[in-house]
Amino acid sequence: MTGAGAGAPEVHVGEPAAVTEALADDLESVARESLAQQQRFTIAIPGGSVATICFPRLALLSLDWSAIDFFWTDERAVPPDHADSNYAAARSLWLEPARVPEERLHRMRGEEDLERAAREYADELESIAGRPPRLDYALLGVGVDGHVASLFPDRLTLDDPRPVQPVTDSPKPPRRRLTLSLGMLARARRVAIVAFGIEKATPIREALANAASMLPIARLVRAAPECVMFLGRDLAELL
């Protein structure tokens, strides 16, 4: 897996509203810097609790949305208007309220043949983020089992070099998904991980303190060139 790994992540702790505020500040300053330097910014965004808790605040950021390309970290194998769609969640909570132009939205086509959709998404990433594709910012939640995006523990596909992978055996429903690979996520210039809830203390502790952990979150934290964590206070008290 590529990625330089830059030592211990920066960690922000607080109640969900304060943590979301810290995330908003982080994203805003990194995006502004990138927009000033390269007139563009690429980000991958998740579904799950990060979307419901944080996206409404991120929609209020004062950024030039016409220069920011949105990709997804992962998607469930459902149509884009389905209640389980990560794209639909992001649209309603962030992208529509912020009026992000349609052409900046790069949706994973989870409702199509997954192998083909993964290849096409890799092409789309390459056309905008270079070859191999490198995102400016990867925003991720984490599962209780230590998964990130739809990369689950103990899967051989964790070492798959492709930037985008089909998933047919997700333990978190639905089983069929698309996901950015661990290598793709670890290449991002900055990886931001958000976790709320005491049940996520175990994977976060492992990522921060066990240098030999093979959990997807731990591998990503080790490999990312820059990593920042935003943690709920109750969870952080258990670390």
* Residue ranges that bind ligand 6PG, judged by CB under 6 A: 46-50, 73-74, 76, 86, 141-143, 147, 149-150, 172
Shortest Å, Cβ 66 to ligand 6PG: 25
Yes or no: say if 208 and 8 are a contact pair by the CB < 8 Å rule: yes
Shortest Å, Cβ 97 to ligand 6PG: 20
Which residue stretches of the chain are H helix?
Answer: 16-38, 48-58, 86-90, 114-129, 182-186, 201-209, 216-223, 233-236
Yes or no: say if 86 and 53 are a contact pair by the CB < 8 Å rule: no
In 3D space, the residue among 20, 69, 5, 3 whose CA is nearest the CA of residue 194 turns out to be: 20
For ligand 6PG, give the closer residue by CB, 49 or 202. Answer: 49
Shortest Å, Cβ 150 to ligand 6PG: 6
For ligand 6PG, give the closer residue by CB, 4 or 17. Answer: 17
* CA gap 125, 134 in Å, rounded: 8
* CA gap 105, 91 in Å, rounded: 9
For ligand 6PG, give the closer residue by CB, 52 or 127. Answer: 52
For ligand 6PG, give the closer residue by CB, 64 or 81. Answer: 81
Shortest Å, Cβ 37 to ligand 6PG: 29
